[in-house]
Amino acid sequence: MSAMDNNWNAELYMNKHSFVYNYGESLVDLLDPNKNEKILDLGCGTGELTNQISKLSKEVIGIDKSPEMIKSAKENFATINFQIGSAENIKSTEEFDAVFSNATLHWVKDYQAAIQSIYESLKPGGRFVAEFGGRGNVETIIYSLRNSLAQNGYLKQSQTEIWYFPSIGEYTSALEKQNFKVKYAKHYDRPTELTDAKSGIKDWLEMFGKHFFDNVSKEDVDQIILETEKALKPLLFKKNKWYADYKRLQIIAYK
C-alpha cells in the first residue's frame, strides 16, 4: 500500500488494519505461485503476503513506496528482498513470471504509467494478478466525511481526491491498450469488518484518509471525525461492529 506522501504508520497498520493482508490471502490462491517462478509483490506493505508467496515460489521481491513499511517488512522477514519502489516506475534488471498486487493500485492515480511499468516488468506470457478498490469503494464513508468537512468550512479539503477506483470496463480497457490479455475480471462488494468496535471509523480515517485533514486544526479534525461517525453509524455499524463499504476489483491478465 502506498499513500500520496508515502509516510505510513506501520505499527498502526499491523495492529488495527491487518484485515488488508488477511483478505489478501485469497489473492495468493488466485496467483497460484509455483516453485519455478520469480514473483514481484507490488505494494508489499509490511510483507506478510510476500512471506506467504516466498514459501510457494522460487524467489519473490517486495517493493513499496513507504520507507516505514519496508523497514517493518525487513525486520519481520529478514530473508526476503524488500526494496523501496514505485508502481509507476518499477526498476528491475530482470523480468518476472508474475506481478502480484494487493490493495495498492487504487493509490496510484497515474494508472497508465503503472500498467506500462507492470507490463514491461513481466516475461512474455507472464501474468499480472491484482486486487484493489473498484468503482464505488468506500463511497459511503467518503460522502459523509466530505459533507462534514464542507459544513465546517473546509471546502477545499472536502474536494480532495486521493484514490483511483475504476470500473471493470475502464481498467480492462486500459490493460488491453497496453496489449495485456485479460483472462479474468471481477467487481464485487466486500463489506469489511474494522478491528476496533469502538474506534473503527476513526482508526480507518486516521490511517487511510489523513490527506483530507491537511491544514485542518486538531480540534476540528476531532469534531469532523465525530460527525462522520455519527452520520455513518446507522449505515455501517451492525451487531456492535463497524464495517467499511469496500468494493473490490480483481484482475488476472497476461503479457
> What integer is the mean pLDDT of 129-157?
97
Query: What pLDDT does residue 24 have?
Result: 62
Residues 82-100 as b/e (b if ≥16 CB within 10 A, e otherwise) read bbebbbbebeeeeebbbbb
DSSP string for residues in 72-84: HHHHH-TTSEEEE
Query: What pLDDT does residue 10 have?
Result: 45
DSSP string for residues in 102-115: ES-GGG-S-HHHHH
Averaged pLDDT score across all residues of the chain: 91
DSSP state of 57: S
> What integer is the mean pLDDT of 116-144?
97
Give yes or no for a contact between 114 and 65, defined as CB atoms under 8 angstroms apart: no
pLDDT (tens digit per residue) in 5-52: 455 454 554 544 444 555 667 899 999 999 999 999 999 999 999 999
Nine cell digits for residue 73 = 517488512
Q: How many angstroms separate the CA atoms of 66 and 9, rounded?
A: 10
Given pLDDT bands bounded at 50, 70 and 90, which one contains residue 4? very low
Give yes or no for a contact between 92 and 122, defined as CB atoms under 8 angstroms apart: no
Q: How many angstroms separate the CA atoms of 203 and 16, rounded?
A: 7
Judge: domain 10-254, CATH 3.40.50.150. Answer: yes
Query: What pLDDT does residue 16 have?
Result: 42
Alpha-carbon Rg of the chain, whole angstroms?
18
Q: What percent of the chain has pLDDT over 90?
A: 82
Query: What pLDDT does residue 227 have?
Result: 98
Q: Helix H segments across the chain?
A: 10-16, 19-31, 48-54, 67-76, 111-121, 139-151, 155-158, 168-177, 200-208, 218-236
Give the predicted TM-score (pTM) of the model: 0.90
Candidates 56, 60, 59, 62; CA nearest to 34 is: 56
Phi, psi angle pair for 136, to nearest 5°: 90, 0
> What integer is the mean pLDDT of 183-194?
95
> What integer is the mean pLDDT of 48-77?
94
Instruction: Say how many C-beta atoms besides its own lie within 10 A of residue 76's C-beta.
Output: 16
Given pLDDT bands bounded at 50, 70 and 90, which one contains residue 3? very low
Burial of residue 188, with CB atoms counted within 10 A of its CB: 0-12 exposed, 13-18 middle, 19 or more buried:
exposed
pLDDT (tens digit per residue) in 196-235: 888 899 999 988 899 999 999 999 999 999 999 999 999 9
> Domain residue spans in the chain?
10-254
Q: What percent of the chain has pLDDT over 70?
A: 91
User: Per-residue pLDDT for 60 more than 50?
Assistant: yes
